[in-house]
């Protein structure tokens, strides 16, 4: 349920309405929009009588929200959420450009890629230190040492760090070292982990599960938000379909759908979607044209020898060309670059 206040409603009116709801044992989420305040009601709304609220002089209308997600719902928060990642704004008219290797391999590798990515226009550095590999025999990542290498690269380039967390026991370490905590496709519905992320002070990058519907994905964001962390960025990375030529099928419809249903930023990962480096450029351009809030692209200085995902990684020169071209498209769709 959402309560739309009248334009002339005062802060005290909003506080009074909120108190009425809270007195019934429900929670509220108040958003002060452009000229109008919206009071979102979270919990068992059968306890609230809409007609009684509409009698109040300060209330314009009461609307029922059909979707099971509330805090993530666009109706609760009509304006785009802008998420701050160590000073880099994500959402609205901003374009997040996250680049870096699939896996952290050495300090030389990460620093070289980070410098090249920054020179190309990237505003965040990615790198996996804990890798969710299909095979238990494949490289599992450098672990905490990998995070330290990312911190080193941040000191040199100033780029905020994005890295994947798989195990709740590392939350404190990630909170200390990582600026944007990535939750991978395979952990999108690890509900215990999501609940714990609600208590974290850092923003979360929530990737879409391999077979997740939009509603399931948004409900996972809702878990994090309902437990106290409103700073969630969604990332479409391709879904499983019958097609096997490409690694996954990039669902670009996720951009307008997510923007319609939620106020959260959505970024696109064309690297894990296609699984082939030559698919990255056309899909990244299409994503920006469709209005996404950012791109996460795997970049490697020596893809032939990469420990993970070399075939889908761009060399720095190709990334620089991509960002230049994407910049022109971004301007057309009203994004700052």
Residue ranges that bind ligand PEP, judged by CB under 6 A: 102, 128, 132, 164, 184-186, 207, 237, 272
Is residue 236 close enough to count as binding Mn ion by CB under 5 A? Answer: no
Do 249 and 273 meet the contact criterion of CB atoms below 8 Å apart?
yes
175 φ/ψ angles, rounded to the nearest 5 degrees: -60, -35
Dihedral (C-alpha) 208, 211, 214, 218: value to the nearest 10 degrees? -50
Is residue 105 close enough to count as binding Mn ion by CB under 5 A? Answer: no
Is residue 164 close enough to count as binding Mn ion by CB under 5 A? Answer: no
CB of 78 vs ligand PEP, minimal distance in Å: 30
Q: Which does 184 bind (CB under 5 to 8 A by kind): ligand PEP, Mn ion, none?
A: ligand PEP
Q: Is 334 left (phi over 0), alpha (psi -120 to 50) or beta?
A: left
Tokens representing 95 are 């374009």
Q: Is the CB of 146 or the CB of 184 nearer to ligand PEP?
A: 184
Q: Is the CB of 281 or the CB of 309 nearer to ligand PEP?
A: 309
CB of 176 vs Mn ion, minimal distance in Å: 24
Q: Which does 132 bind (CB under 5 to 8 A by kind): ligand PEP, Mn ion, none?
A: ligand PEP
Do 247 and 275 meet the contact criterion of CB atoms below 8 Å apart?
yes
Is residue 281 close enough to count as binding Mn ion by CB under 5 A? Answer: no
CB of 45 vs Mn ion, minimal distance in Å: 42
Dihedral (C-alpha) 257, 260, 263, 269: value to the nearest 10 degrees? 20
Is residue 53 close enough to count as binding Mn ion by CB under 5 A? Answer: no
Q: Is the CB of 128 or the CB of 230 nearer to ligand PEP?
A: 128
Q: Is the CB of 272 or the CB of 285 nearer to ligand PEP?
A: 272
Do 296 and 268 meet the contact criterion of CB atoms below 8 Å apart?
yes
Q: Is the CB of 75 or the CB of 99 nearer to ligand PEP?
A: 99
CB of 213 vs ligand PEP, minimal distance in Å: 16
Q: Which does 150 bind (CB under 5 to 8 A by kind): ligand PEP, Mn ion, none?
A: none
Tokens representing 24 are 């019934």
CB of 186 vs ligand PEP, minimal distance in Å: 6
Q: Of 78, 23, 26, 21, which Cα lies nearest the Cα of 53?
A: 21
Do 54 and 242 meet the contact criterion of CB atoms below 8 Å apart?
no
Residue of 41, 160, 309, 330 interacting with Mn ion (CB under 5 A): 309
Q: CB-hemisphere CA count at 13 Å for 261?
A: 23
Query: Which residue's Cβ lies closest to ligand PEP?
Result: 184
What 3-state DSSP class applies to 88? strand
Q: Is the CB of 91 or the CB of 127 nearer to Mn ion?
A: 127
Is residue 179 close enough to count as binding Mn ion by CB under 5 A? Answer: no
Residue of 102, 142, 153, 273 interacting with Mn ion (CB under 5 A): 102
Q: Is 158 left (phi over 0), alpha (psi -120 to 50) or beta?
A: left
CB of 312 vs Mn ion, minimal distance in Å: 7
Do 148 and 129 meet the contact criterion of CB atoms below 8 Å apart?
no
Q: Which does 185 bind (CB under 5 to 8 A by kind): Mn ion, ligand PEP, none?
A: ligand PEP
Angle at which helices 107-120 and 144-157 cross, to 10°: 40
CA–CA gap between residue 233 and residue 100 (Å, rounded)? 18
Q: Which does 292 bind (CB under 5 to 8 A by kind): Mn ion, ligand PEP, none?
A: none
Binding residues for Mn ion (CB under 5 A): 102, 309
């Amino acid at each position: 349920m959402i309560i739309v206040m009248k334009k002339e409603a005062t802060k005290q009116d909003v506080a009074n309405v909120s108190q009425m709801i809270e007195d019934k044992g429900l929670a509220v989420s108040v958003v002060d929009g452009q000229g109008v305040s919206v009071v979102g009601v979270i919990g068992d709304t059968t306890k609230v009588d809409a007609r009684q609220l509409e009698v109040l002089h300060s209330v314009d209308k009461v609307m029922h929200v059909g979707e099971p997600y509330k805090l993530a719902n666009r109706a609760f928060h009509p304006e785009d959420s802008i998420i701050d990642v160590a000073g880099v704004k994500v959402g609205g008219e901003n374009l997040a450009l996250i680049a870096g290797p699939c896996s952290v391999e050495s300090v030389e590798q990460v620093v070289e890629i980070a410098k090249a990515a920054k020179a190309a226009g990237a505003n965040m550095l990615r790198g996996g230190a804990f890798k969710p590999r299909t095979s238990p025999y494949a490289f599992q990542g450098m672990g905490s040492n990998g995070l330290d290498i990312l911190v080193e690269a941040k000191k040199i380039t100033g780029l905020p760090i994005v890295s994947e967390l798989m195990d709740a026991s590392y939350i404190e370490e990630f909170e200390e070292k990582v600026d944007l905590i990535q939750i991978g496709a395979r952990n999108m519905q690890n509900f215990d982990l999501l609940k714990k992320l609600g208590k974290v002070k850092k923003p979360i990058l929530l990737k879409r599960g391999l077979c997740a519907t939009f509603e399931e994905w948004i409900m996972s964001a809702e878990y994090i938000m309902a437990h106290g962390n409103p700073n969630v960025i969604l990332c479409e990375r391709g879904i499983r379909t019958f097609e096997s030529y490409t690694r996954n099928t990039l669902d670009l419809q996720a951009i307008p759908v997510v923007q319609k249903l939620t106020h959260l930023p959505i970024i696109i990962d064309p690297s894990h979607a296609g699984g082939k480096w030559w698919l990255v450029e056309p899909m990244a351009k299409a994503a920006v044209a469709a209005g996404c809030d950012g791109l996460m692209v795997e970049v490697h200085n020596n893809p032939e020898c990469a420990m993970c995902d070399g075939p889908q990684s761009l060399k720095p020169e190709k990334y620089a060309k991509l960002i230049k071209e994407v910049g022109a498209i971004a301007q057309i769709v009203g994004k700052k670059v």
